[in-house]
């Protein structure tokens, strides 16, 4: 900022960094708005990346951090409901702030720390309210994802949604269908992680926005609400959301939302072992199959959904952890024998029988019926029908 100002250009910290600073939240990305055009910004700094020069943005690398420096601009025309058809560089900050989405994001701070607030953002912070800059309908039409962003801010900041915004979200919810699922997933994932996630989920249903989201048209509002803040990662929160809203086909949901294979696997496992855990306590085999991470996730998931009491969670987590720690093996690779040993002892060729014997052996060792010692396993195996040549 000093360098820009020393060369005659106005410069301000803008947007989320100012919002989070005023709210006492951690500040992550720092955006700077300036009167300097992109070419001038590039010439003033040694290390830059032309991130979006066409739209006025240059990333400046300084002091081991990155800063997005963007020329004051105004925008018009959003035929793809995301990117402006026309960008005009401006000479004043007020025109730049007018294009922003929410009042709490339309704040600027000058070099001395003074706050520029043209749209009542600080008042909205004090009243813990989410309002849009100008007419909500216009802001939404520029980028319908702002609907999801607004509801996500309700979740993250524990704010309420303004009346005009609620009406506009309700009227224009269908525009969310024009947004890529990757952008929707990013907002939804952050929404579920907020301390007021239940309030935000309620808004998704109250405004009808959920009907425009992939595979949620027939979903039900969780009642009673799921205690999402108890959960520790995205997979746990998504599992709780799907379980609470009655979405049963996880594979189809994962495809529609373009989840990673890892997330799909984790959510599927939490839901599957959740059903087993609801039916009874962890067994040696079930905790072995689940693994310690999944078992702990299941305990939190079921507590969040109201199956178990919160005050017993810590003891249940310890019990599952102790059961896991006491297992004789923690994976198939821990077995004292290999498939090659079984083939050698039996004199048989590899085939389906081998996989079946290994599964049976693994279960027997986990449950304590067979000790995990080579000589013990050999004795056990030689008593099995599979140890003798025969047709299957």
Q: Which residues are registered as beta bridge partners of 48?
A: 60
SS3 377: helix
Give the residue-averaged pLDDT of 4-12.
97
Out of 2.130.10.10, 3.30.460.10, 3.40.50.1820, 2.120.10.60, the CATH code matching 1-125 is 3.30.460.10
Q: What would the two tokens of residue 15 be?
A: 């947007």
Beta-carbon count within 10 A of 48 CB: 20
At residue 265, the pLDDT reads 98
Confidence bin at 391 (pLDDT 50/70/90): very low
Q: What would the two tokens of residue 299 be?
A: 């305990």
Asked if 111 contacts 6 with a C-beta cutoff of 8 angstroms, the reply is no
Residues in the chain: 392
Phi and psi based region of residue 15 (left: phi greater than 0; alpha: psi -120 to 50; beta: remaining): left
Comparing CA positions, the residue from 184, 208, 186, 204 lying closest to residue 196 is 204
**Bigger pLDDT: 85 vs 209:** 209
Q: What would the two tokens of residue 229 be?
A: 């803040």
pTM of the model: 0.89
**CATH class for the domain made up of 332-387:** mainly alpha
Comparing CA positions, the residue from 248, 252, 319 lying closest to residue 287 is 319
Q: Could you check whether 1-125 and 332-387 share the same CATH topology?
A: no
Give the residue-averaged pLDDT of 308-320.
96
Q: Which residues are registered as beta bridge partners of 60?
A: 48, 67
Confidence bin at 6 (pLDDT 50/70/90): very high
Q: Write down the domain spans for the chain.
A: 1-125, 332-387
pLDDT at 316 over 70: yes
Task: List, in order, residues 6 or more apart from 383 with CB less than 8 Å away.
Answer: none
Give the residue-averaged pLDDT of 341-362.
94
Please state the separation of Cα 148 from the chain's center in Å: 14
Pairwise CA distance, residues 305 & 222, whole Å: 9
Which range, of 93-102, 221-230, 235-244, averages the lowest pLDDT? 221-230
Per-residue model confidence as pLDDT tens digits over 137-167: 999 999 999 999 999 999 999 999 999 999 9
């Amino acid at each position: 900022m000093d360098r820009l100002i020393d060369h005659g250009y106005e410069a301000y910290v803008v947007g989320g960094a100012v919002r989070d600073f005023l709210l006492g939240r951690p500040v992550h990305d720092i955006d700077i708005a300036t009167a300097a055009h992109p070419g001038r910004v590039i010439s003033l700094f040694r290390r830059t990346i032309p991130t979006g020069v066409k739209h006025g943005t240059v990333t400046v690398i300084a002091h081991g951090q990155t800063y997005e420096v963007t020329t004051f601009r105004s925008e018009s025309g959003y035929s793809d409901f995301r990117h402006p058809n026309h960008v005009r560089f401006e000479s004043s900050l007020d025109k730049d702030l007018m294009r922003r989405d929410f009042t709490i994001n339309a704040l600027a701070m000058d070099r001395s720390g003074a706050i520029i607030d043209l749209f009542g953002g600080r008042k909205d912070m004090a009243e813990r309210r989410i309002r849009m800059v100008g007419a909500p309908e216009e802001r939404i039409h520029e980028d319908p994802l702002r609907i999801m962003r607004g509801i996500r801010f309700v979740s993250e900041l524990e704010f309420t949604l303004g009346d005009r915004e609620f009406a506009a979200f309700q009227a224009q919810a269908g525009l969310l269908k024009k947004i890529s699922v990757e952008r929707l997933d990013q907002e939804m994932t952050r929404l579920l992680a907020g301390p007021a996630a239940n309030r935000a989920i309620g808004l998704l249903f109250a405004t009808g926005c959920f009907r425009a989201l992939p595979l949620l048209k027939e979903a039900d509002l969780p009642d009673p609400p799921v205690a999402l803040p108890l959960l520790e990662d995205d997979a746990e929160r998504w599992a709780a959301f799907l379980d609470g809203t009655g979405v049963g086909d996880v594979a189809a949901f994962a495809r529609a939302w373009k989840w990673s294979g890892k997330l799909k696997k984790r959510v599927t496992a939490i839901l599957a072992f959740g059903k087993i855990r609801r039916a009874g306590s962890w067994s040696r085999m079930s905790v072995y199959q689940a693994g310690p991470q999944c078992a702990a996730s299941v305990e939190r998931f079921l507590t969040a959904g109201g199956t178990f009491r919160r005050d017993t969670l810590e003891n249940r987590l310890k019990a599952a952890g102790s059961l896991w720690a006491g297992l004789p093996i923690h994976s198939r690779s821990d077995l004292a024998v290999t498939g090659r040993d079984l083939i050698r002892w039996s004199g048989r060729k590899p085939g389906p029988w081998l996989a079946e014997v290994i599964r049976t052996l693994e279960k027997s060792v986990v449950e304590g019926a067979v000790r995990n010692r080579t000589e013990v396993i050999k004795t056990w195996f030689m008593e099995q029908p599979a140890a003798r040549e025969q047709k299957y």
